[in-house]
Amino acid sequence: MFNLTTSASKTFQGIPLSVLDLAPVNEGSDASTSFQHSVDLAQHADKLGFNRYWLAEHHGMPGIASSATSIIINHIANHTQRIRVGSGGVMLPNHASLVIAEQFGTLESMFPDRIDLGLGRAPGSDQMTAYALRRDLRQGVEEFPNQVEELQDYFAGKGIVRAVPGEGANIPIWLLGSSDFSARLSAEKGLPFSFASHFSPDYIDAALHLYRTRFKPSDDLDKPYVMLGVNIIAADTNEEARYHATSYDQQFLDLRRGMPGQLQPPIKNTSEVWSSAEAAAIALKNNSSATIIGDKETVRAKLSKFVEDTQADELIINSQIFDQQARVHSYEIVAALFD
């Protein structure tokens, strides 16, 4: 059976909370500084009692530095003591399954019982970059289930060749998704499922229903286990949180405009930056159940409602905040809600 939590993890209403780090590159900064910030945040999260710290594979995006995901996982695990560290996720179609088995088998050998392997089927990039990344240009995302099976075989010592390190490693494999595809596959395989509700909130209910009703117990997991993504930007006051959230708003607009860039500093006069139509899109995004912006009591109330509505087994929190001190403080405010 997979071990999905650490013994020292604290909880919110009995539910472990974890950290999703997109390794943001701030305007005028660089990847080196981004990684320093990630280590700083991970060390705080480790001490505060968060359960896991995940990094997401993206490519060709000036504002996200986590393309070489397994290398950063090693860096974070080496600078922390207890917290689980993993991928949220590795985009498996970009890689040979054997390479991922070897990389994560190596990580597990270095940091026993602390490594997670979350798998996604999207390229984590635009189509041109995906084309450049693909190990086999004839392979598409429709091969994802076969790749997952192949990866599991390598860990089980049943592959066409041996994964060394990797063979025999007890690494929790998670499937990630923002639609119903991975919900179905996770259920079929009896694997834990992480749903990207932080950017796909409209599909939460459908994905959870599919996963829970179709789940088949496996040697890895005897009952459904779902972790949901939540955007939380917390500060000492609602006004301050709303101010810091404008960096996240600008990132959202950059993607919407097809012009991804570095994470921008917060702004006070938003009308100078986006149109009324864009303001409406931002308001819709920020009013979703999986985005929470506010002070401690606002976060407590909305997070409690989210937990009640979804019955999530775990939550993973993304906080796109420009100022590193404010970013760490946001997680400190959330940690203050632990039981």
SS3 of 190-215: the string is CCCEEECCCCCHHHHHHHHHHHHHHC
- Closest Cα to residue 235, out of 321, 113, 128, 308? 321
Which pTM was predicted? 0.95
- In this predicted structure, the answer to whether residue 109 has a pLDDT above a threshold of 90 is yes
Question: pLDDT per residue over 28-87, tens digit each?
Answer: 999 999 999 999 999 999 999 999 999 999 988 899 999 999 999 999 999 999 999 999
Strand partners, 294: 234
- Closest Cα to residue 227, out of 97, 71, 53, 94? 53
Please name the amino acid found at residue 168: G
> Helix %, strand %, coil % for the chain, to 5?
45, 15, 40
For the chain, how many residues are written?
339
Provide, rounded to the nearest whole percent, the portion of the chain with pLDDT above 90.
76
Q: What is the DSSP letter of 43?
A: H
- In this predicted structure, the answer to whether residue 253 has a pLDDT above a threshold of 80 is yes
Question: pLDDT per residue over 217-226, tens digit each?
Answer: 999 999 999 9
Any alpha helices (H) in 157-260, and if so which ranges?
A: 181-189, 204-214, 238-256
Which tokens sit at 164? 């060394």
The packing angle between helices 204-214 and 181-189, to 10°, is 20
The packing angle between helices 144-156 and 181-189, to 10°, is 30
Mean pLDDT calculated for residue range 328-333: 98
What element of type H or E holds 39?
A: helix 31-48
pLDDT at 179: 84
pLDDT at 255: 86
CATH of domain 11-335: 3.20.20.30
Of the listed ranges 52-56, 166-170, 268-272, 304-308, the one predicted with least confidence: 268-272
pLDDT at 137: 54
Question: pLDDT per residue over 128-172, tens digit each?
Answer: 666 676 655 556 557 899 999 999 999 999 988 999 999 999 999
Question: pLDDT per residue over 289-299, tens digit each?
Answer: 999 999 999 99
Mean pLDDT calculated for residue range 273-281: 88
Mean pLDDT calculated for residue range 90-115: 95
